[in-house]
Chains A and B, each alone.
Chain A
Amino acid sequence: MIGLTHFLLIGAVLFCTGLFMVVTKKNAIQILIGIELMLNAAILNMVAFGRFDKMNNGGQLMAIFSIVLAAATTAVALAIILNVYRRYKTIDPDKLNQLKD
């Protein structure tokens, strides 16, 4: 059987990759992909711990809830990115310097 530590190590690598993307990328959609990577690392940890909870399925159900929440946040974030592109003609977060036009 695969130990819990291996899953946690893979999750740690994915989380740090996502963190690097969120800090460095110049494109809002790529930052969103970085956030998705971090979320997936967290979901992987929950699923890995959920194996030891057969009766209540706590970890797996929380993972499903997190996936649904990620879908909702992605829909809203992409709508915001489209709006930002329509107003400023760029999706580089460094170039956006005001909230209203």
Chain B
Amino acid sequence: MTMFIILFWVMAVITIVPALYIAYSSNLVRSIFMFFITLFGLAGLYVYAMADFVAITQIVIYVGGILVLILFAFMLSGRETLERLQQSPVKLFNLKKIPALLVSAMFLIVLVNVILKANVDNQAWITRNIQAHNVIATTDITTDNIGINLMTRYLLPFEAVSILLLMALIGSAHLSRKEQVQ
């Protein structure tokens, strides 16, 4: 049980430290590869929240799709941006960044305060579901239930998302195509 908790915190560190490094660094390539590590750490955290299927979906769609897309866009956007970015020195305590740092730190304080005071684990619906054994245990297989729910209860959002994905792909193909010379 202690190993379980230690691994959870290792996963949390793997998630948070690269995220902070992305915010600190101004090197685009390095931040993209650090984002990889953050996404893998998040997939591990999803496994700890008993959501295996969501973890696999995260790896397939984010790491396989979105990050490759970002890398392609970065490589297509040319060499001048890269050179100009690497000339600018990295300064965390840049004077322009202090208001942003202040805003995000204060928002973090507010969020942590709310989370600690909300006592989330003893919410009414959560205790009710625990008493009704409606909680996913470590031995449960959730994929079957997710598939059945996707085809019955969540059929309308599923179809809406599929149509929206088609529209977005057609729209982005249209936007990124070469323009005709007039």
Contacts and interface: CB of A to CB of B under 8 A. Distances in A.
Contacts, number: 227
Given A10-B45, A16-B104, A69-B161, A83 B120 contact: no
B120 A4 contact: yes
B90 interface: no
A10 B103 CA distance: 18
Interface in B6-63: 8, 12, 15-16, 19-20, 22-23, 26, 28, 31-32, 35, 38-39, 42, 45-46, 48-51, 53-54, 57-58, 61-62
Contact of B126 (A13, A25, A52, A75): A52
Interface in A47-96: 47-48, 50-57, 59-61, 63-65, 67-76, 78-83, 85, 89-91
A29 B164 CA distance: 23
A84 to B, nearest CB: 10
A30 B175 contact: no
Interface of B is mostly: helix
A69 B81 CA distance: 28
Interface residues of A, number: 70
A71 B65 contact: yes
Interface string B115-159: 110001100011001100011100010100110011001100110
